[in-house]
Amino acid sequence: DVKVTQSSRYLVKRTGEKVFLECVQDMDHENMFWYRQDPGLGLRLIYFSYDVKMKEKGDIPEGYSVSREKKERFSLILESASTNQTSMYLCASSSYDEQYFGPGTRLTVT
């Protein structure tokens, strides 16, 4: 079974803090993704990576950056957290024909 793990299930940070969300997959997938999930909006793609050190912006990259130094690990970085970044963050990795999701990190920025 594919396993995608995320470093935290729940996180509370203060406005202006730098926040790191970590994601690890164990299936040697080349593609990895970060989404945020908000009620009524579904999942929106923040960034994806198709190889080590390669990244592409998704639909809502503003305020976020990513890092992929190793194939199995994809990190999402909030340089200066703001209250409008309070959300559920989902990481996924992808085989040819489907995406596999981690359990999510619920981030609250106060």
Smallest gap from residue 76 Cβ to other proteins (A): 15
Q: Which of residues 19-58 bind other proteins (CB under 8 A)?
A: 31, 35, 40-43, 45, 48, 50, 56
Q: Which long-range contacts link 17-20 to residues 24+ away (Cβ below 8 Å)?
A: 17/78, 17/80, 17/81, 17/109, 18/77, 18/78, 18/79, 18/80, 18/81, 19/77, 19/78, 19/81, 19/107, 19/109, 20/75, 20/76, 20/77
**Beta carbon of residue 43, minimum distance to other proteins (angstroms, whole number):** 4
Binding of residue 97 to other proteins (CB under 8 A): yes
Count interface residues toward other proteins (CB under 8 A): 25
